[in-house]
Chains A and B, each alone.
Chain A
Amino acid sequence: MIDFVAALVGPFRDIAGQPVFFVEVVLGGVFAGLLYSLVALGFVLIFKASGVFNFAQGAMVLFAALTLVGLMERGVPVIAAVAVTTAVMIGLAFVIERLVLRPLVNQEHIILFMATIGLNFFLEGFGEMLWGANVKKLDIGIPDRTFMVGAVQINELELTSAITAAVLVTVLAVFFQKTRIGRALRAVADDHEAALSIGIPLKTIWVVVWSIAGVVAIAAGIMWGAKSGVQFSLSLIALKALPVLILGGFTSVPGAIAGGLIIGIGEKIGEVYWGPLVGGAIENWFAYVVALAFLLVRPQGLFGEKIIERV
């Protein structure tokens, strides 16, 4: 018993003893967390605009990354490849609106959710049919090397990804909180019919939101792809975004950011300091345990709108 307590408390002594290492661990968590936020943000945008959990967000990340790598393998320069991929994702938004969403206006949310599951399988299959299923290396010209700031080691690729993610997240947060489109978006999420009746064009809103979700998917695809290669498992990072959403609240942009950071930092610290205690792999389940705890205590998440049911 005493051994166990000592093992639990011991890591705190390590933290105090080696502050530089601790800062490095936290930074690693921040980098990972910002990427989680970015993926979660894709979900939040679509959820806010249509009340639908977009099961296909992970597949969109994979599809975007596959398209980008596929183009670059055929000799297209990075900038042009990113531009073409962006155009493809926006085109995809138009197609999704026309073929999937428009026929399902005013249907139950569960029906739209099922439609996104179908979309998920389609995108995974279509992407691999076009570009092949083997693991591809994505090299966007940012070296994967480290440099020192004071005593702290920082990875250049991670830093670039984190800054890009932070900029994207900030721009999107401002866009949706402060603009007319943001308000229209919340309106569409609350009530399709009422939104239509006051003159909000549902079609435009959906295309805008899915386009933005597509662009966010490109960013996420590049960052994760550059780290661990472009492969089928990219679509699984959507699973990591789920606990982030539960933590932050499905409807909250700041929630997605905070949730991503909490999970990113929490799992890194847990893994490095308390991992040995349980034989490691804390990183793999930490997020889900946190999510489970939140579902029990505060199901709307940290920043979500309180769920009110009148009976």
Chain B
Amino acid sequence: MTATGAPRPLLEVDGISVRFGALLALNRLSLTIPRGEIAAIIGPNGAGKTTLLNCISGFYHPYEGVIRFAGRDRTHLRPPDVAALGIARTFQNVALFRGMSVLDNIMTGRVLAMRGNFLLQALWWGPARREELAHRAFVERIIDFLEIQAIRKTPAGRLPYGLQKRVELARALAAEPQLLLLDEPMAGMNVEEKEDMCRFILDVNSEFGTTIALIEHDMGVVMDICDHVVVLDYGRKIADGTPEVVRKDQAVLDAYLGVAHRD
């Protein structure tokens, strides 16, 4: 599935470190995500997975190391600038605009693509009207794609958890991102919802060509849908490779199952 012939990977994380007081959350971490693949970032709780995602999306800034996206250094950009580059994300604890309808949530996700004159927009007139309609059409496509037609008018805050996660994915997709970061997209879901979400992630990847990096605890899911797995423990990378390789890696087994003290 990896695009061959691409000169550089889409995302390169090169030796980044993040410190919270005495805690070294990320310790000279390096990894690459090639264009077009689905990568998983796994590891025990507190391994630094979400910290890594927050660095990539600009919420945290590493004190050393470089993050390159499409070949350009963007280690110190702020979240809105990162979004403008084409990196969208979802959050571990669902961050939807709870008071807005599902449709408005997704439309808001398109805020970067909308560049029309706001005065014309206010008057619902001329080019602004055509622009709004074009955006609506794209948003409708996402709604169909994620099968959420039935809840389009519902305030997002009233939806059950599984559907909120799906709406959050829809909002991220509305920006037509090149790289999609999903923080535990399947946490707290039942088996059926997980299967749906897996299908959506695979479809997004194949249909929109979106590169996806996801954090997930469900190993079955990770092994099934990912091209590439990166394992973190205590802020370091302890394994990196295809699911088959990582599954048999001794360091990974130790991190997950614990090791007997040898001293």
Q: How many residues of A contact B (CB 8 A)?
A: 27
- CB interface residues, A 167-204, toward B, < 8 Å: 174-175, 178-181, 183-184, 186-187, 189-191, 193-202
Choose one: B95, B100, B111; the contact of A199 (CB below 8 Å): B111
Complex CA gap A194/B91 in Å reads: 8
Q: Is the CB of B95 within 8 A of A193?
A: yes
- CB interface residues, B 170-185, toward A, < 8 Å: 171-172, 175
Q: How many residues of B contact A (CB 8 A)?
A: 34
Q: Is the CB of B122 within 8 A of A174?
A: yes
Complex CA gap A167/B124 in Å reads: 19
Contacts A180-B111, A197-B57: A187 and B97 contacting too (C-beta < 8 A)?
yes
Task: List chain A residues, Cβ under 8 A from B97.
Answer: 186-187, 190-191, 194-195
By CB atoms of chain B within 10 A, which of A174, A198, A305 has the most? A198
Q: Is the CB of A179 within 8 A of B99?
A: no
Contacts A305-B99, A308-B158: A180 and B80 contacting too (C-beta < 8 A)?
no
Q: Is the CB of A194 within 8 A of B96?
A: yes
CB of A251 within 8 Å of the partner chain: yes
Query: What's the A-B contact tally at a CB cutoff of 8 Å?
Result: 91
Q: Is the CB of A199 within 8 A of B96?
A: no
Q: Is the CB of A193 within 8 A of B91?
A: yes
Nearest Cβ in chain A — how far from B119, in angstroms? 8
Complex CA gap A179/B118 in Å reads: 6
Task: List chain A residues, Cβ under 8 A from B172.
Answer: 198
Q: Is the CB of B59 within 8 A of A201?
A: no
Q: Mark A233-256, 1 if CB is under 8 A from B, else 0.
A: 000000000000000000100000
Interface of chain A, helix or strand or loop or mixed? helix
Task: List chain B residues, Cβ under 8 A from A310.
Answer: 157
Q: Which of B4-12, B33-41, B101-109, B229-237 contacts A (4 or more CB under 8 A)?
A: B101-109
Q: Is the CB of B83 within 8 A of A175?
A: no
Task: List chain A residues, Cβ under 8 A from B111.
Answer: 180, 183-184, 187, 198-200
Task: List chain A residues, Cβ under 8 A from B59.
Answer: 193, 196-197
Task: List chain A residues, Cβ under 8 A from B116.
Answer: 180
Q: Is the CB of A194 within 8 A of B95?
A: yes
Nearest Cβ in chain A — how far from B153, in angstroms? 14
Q: Is the CB of A197 within 8 A of B88?
A: yes
CB of B32 within 8 Å of the partner chain: no
CB of B189 within 8 Å of the partner chain: no
Complex CA gap A178/B24 in Å reads: 46
Which 4 pairs, one residue from A and one from B, show the smallest C-beta to C-beta distance?
A: A199-B83, A194-B95, A190-B97, A196-B79
Interface residues of A (CB under 8 A from B): 174-175, 178-181, 183-184, 186-187, 189-191, 193-202, 251, 305, 308, 310
Interface residues of B (CB under 8 A from A): 57, 59, 78-80, 83-84, 88-89, 91, 95-100, 104, 107-109, 111-112, 114, 116, 118, 121-122, 124, 155, 157-158, 171-172, 175
20 contacts between A and B (CB under 8 A): A180-B111, A180-B118, A180-B121, A186-B104, A186-B108, A190-B98, A190-B100, A191-B95, A191-B97, A193-B91, A194-B91, A197-B95, A198-B111, A198-B171, A199-B79, A200-B111, A305-B99, A305-B155, A308-B158, A310-B157
